[in-house]
Every structure is written in C-alpha cells, then in structure tokens.
Amino acid sequence: MMHNESITEQLHSLTIGKYSSKELTENYIHRIKQLKHLNCFISVLEESALQTAADADQARYKGKVGPLTGIPIAHKDIFCTKNIATTAGSQMLHNYIAPFDATVVIKIAAAGAITIGKTNMDEFAMGSSNETSYYGAVQNPWDTDRVPGGSSGGSAAAVAAGLCSAATGTDTGGSIRQPSAHCGITGLKPTYGRISRWGMIAFASSLDQAGPMTRTAEDAALLLALMAGGDPKDSTCIRDDVPNYLEYLNTTLEGARIGVCDDFFADGLEAKSEEVIQDALKIFEQLGATTKSVKLPHIKYSVPAYYVIAPAEASTNLSRYDGVRFGYRCKDPENLNDMFKRSRSEGFGDEVKRRIMTGAFTLSTGYYDAYYRKAQQIRRLIKNDFHQAFNEVDFLIGPTAPQPAFMLGEKTESHIDMYLQDIYTIAANLAGLPAMSIPIGFSSKLPVGLQLIGNYLAEGTILSAAHQYQKRTDWHKCFPMMTTSESQR
C-alpha cells in the first residue's frame, strides 16, 4: 500500500511510474476523510494539494525534479502558511490568516513537496496529550481511546495512520519525541537554532525547535537537510553549513560509545517499557557499540526548572494577543480594559491561562531571583552535566516517555502527572541538544519509543545510530490496524 511506504520508497515508486503524485495525494485525502474521527487535521487543503500534485507529475515528466517533488507533507498548525488559517490550536487565532509562509514551509515547498493540510495540536503547543486543543482531542491510531501525545499529536497520529508521507512538528519540552513514541514513528528535535523559527508561533523562544516527524530515520535525515540552515530573519538560527545527513547513515556503530543514564531508569518507568529498552540496547551492542553508565546529577531538576522558564517566556510571548491587532476579540466590550480582559479570558484555554499566570508570577518583582534566575542557574548545571557526559560517550540512550500512551482524560485532572510525561525529554531542550525518538517495540500492544540524545550539532550521529538500528529491526514498519483491510504486523 502506497501510504505504508517511507518517503524514500515513495520517491522511488514515483520515479519508476508505479503510481503518480496525484494518485498518492488522492489516496491520502481519501484516508483523511475515512479516518476523520482521529481528528488529526484542523484544515485539509484538498483542492490546492491535488493541483500541486498534478503540477508535480508534469514537472517529473519534464525531468524537473526536486528532493521532495510530489510528496504530500502536513504542517503542524503552528507554522504560518500564506492565505491559509494558522490557529495554533487556539480560539484566540481561529480566524487568523497568515500573510506569509514560515521559513520551514518555504523550504519544504521549494523542495517540491505538497502541503496536504495543517495538523491538530495542543493549544499554543502547551500540553503533553493533545487534549488542550480548541478543536478537540486527537485520537491515537493504535488505540482510539488513548492520547497520541503532545503537543505535536496531530502530526504524529497523521504519520502513524498513513494520512501523509511525513509531517512537521515543534518541540519545546518533548513535543516531537513524546508523541512520536506514543504513535510508533520517528521524530527528531535538532540542536536549538539548527532550523529557523521564523513564522513559527512562539511558545517559549529559548526552547522551541522545529523538526521532522517521519516513519524512518532515513526520511528524517532527508527532511532535516532541507529544513535546516541559516535564516537572516531569525537571529537565533545557526548559520553553519548544513551537512548532507544522508551521508551519515551508513556509518557503522562499531566502536561507538553509548551512555546510559541511571537516572532515566529510576522509579516511574513502566516495567515493560524498560524491558523493551533493554532489548534495544542489546541490538546496539550486537551492532558493535559499547554501553557505559553515565551520571547526570542535576537532571532530576529539569521538570521544575522547565516549568518556571517556559511559562515565563510564554507569558511574554502571548502578551501580544490582546484583541486589538489580530485574533479573537470579545463581543460588545464596555471599554478598552474590558476588551483586553475578556478577549484574553475567552480566547485562551485553561492550560494556556494557567501558564501565563505562572510565568507572570515568576517574573514579578520579589520572585524573579527566587524562581526565574534560579531556574536558569539549574539550566546551566544540566547543560554542564551533558557536556561532561559527552567527554565519555558519543550519544546517550534512554526512554522517551515513562509509559505508553495513556487513556484520554486520564491525566487532565492532575497537572503534575501530565507535566511528568515529559520527564525524560525536557533536559535536551534546556541544554539545546539534538534528540530523537524511534520505535523499538510494544507494551500491551502500544508502541514504545527509545530516545537518543546527541552532542551539539551531532544530528548525524544519532540519525546514523537510529538508521543502523532500523536496518536490523522492523518496528518502524509496524502499522496500526485502522480498517479491516489492513493488518498489523
């Protein structure tokens, strides 16, 4: 089935004429309608996608082929798309039509890809389950009573269910990796600044990072090479040359040093998930790698530090949504102050308001030093821990999430339990390191993800390790049983 193929396989199929781009796109649109109950998409661009597909077929016929010509890609609805609604999953932006494309969108389109739609997400990327979206929760295709993870849950579920070839996501504290683990796909968060944030609606500016969500590490390497690179519109974007990440993939793991952090395997990790991870480690050792126990003594403080820093930055970034310039505005305000108050109260959801209030408090006079400054000091200690670890090992391995996908509504009443779903992923964001999640097996018929964390700008190292693992195993080829005609491997 064409929707079960990786991008690399689809590009080959298009080249040999096995099917056309229009047929591939029509297949995806049919599946999006058929599996509408998953709620993966906020908007589906059927007409423009089919026209772009037809143009791609003509371009291929004439020999004008780009790296992604004819491949349907979905964008998380946090990336601005010209003349197309960009909502960030919020009522605040439900009617916002961006007048420009984000840099990520521009680069992927320039490679020949087709934008098939905008995916659902936690409101302003604040959440770990995709249940805070104004447009309703996304369902996990492996079990529709469970969450897909968040905030990029719509992208993860869409890729897993075969509704697009790949999707873009953003990762502020694990929002690419955690949903990738829950949905059984490959998700990569690059080094902070490796991909431009211009045109990406901000949550926490020192933590936000765009990245690809794909079936395989090979596809992730292809997309990363196209998405990465300097951008004069983003002063935080790294201007170093972008490597050809595909060239890294055939690097063997012979002699590679893998760090295993003991803190990742403490209380809280589901027993079956730990068993699956240990099995994966044995595969890496069979491929020639050696494992070494490493210490990250301050990583236990990553969650509290994150939930001071991220809300503080969010409270600043979201102050622009005041009902004056764009976005939601309340009806019949009594005066300007009433308009500000009601527009923000009505336009934002509970989780967003909770984080705005937390951030405003931690930045306020008398509390800045006690909370925000202290959190930033902890952030530096965590970064130093990773620096020390990479003097001893090439990359780190551990769980992506403490458990497989949990039930819808299970953790909505306990904010602490929800925040702890990112306990293994947050540290990489605080340190600005590249990290990715790959599928490595199942627990109670639900996917389990393995996290690989690399040194700065060492995306090639972890992509290569992931690719070598996927050459030896078939977990990335498993698909959820979404219809009676499709069987789970």
Is 129 catalytic? The answer is: no
CB 317 within 8 A of CB 348: no
Q: Beta-strand (E) ranges in 67-147?
A: 72-76, 114-119
Query: What is the layout of strands, in order, in the sheet containing 166-170?
Result: 41-44, 114-119, 72-76, 166-170, 210-214, 186-189, 435-443, 446-454, 395-399, 257-261, 290-294
Residue 188 carries which DSSP code?
Answer: E
Helix axes 217-227, 459-472, angle to 10 degrees: 160
User: One of 20, 175, 315, 437 is an active-site residue; which one?
Assistant: 175
Q: Count the residues in the chain.
A: 489
CB 258 within 8 A of CB 290: yes
User: One of 20, 21, 76, 155 is an active-site residue; which one?
Assistant: 76
SS3 321: coil
Is 6 catalytic? The answer is: no
Is 107 catalytic? The answer is: no
Structure tokens belonging to residue 117: 């739609």
Q: Beta-strand (E) ranges in 143-298?
A: 166-170, 186-189, 210-214, 257-261, 290-294
C-alpha torsion angle, residues 464, 210, 409, 309 (rounded to 10): 110
Residues labelled catalytic: 76, 151, 175
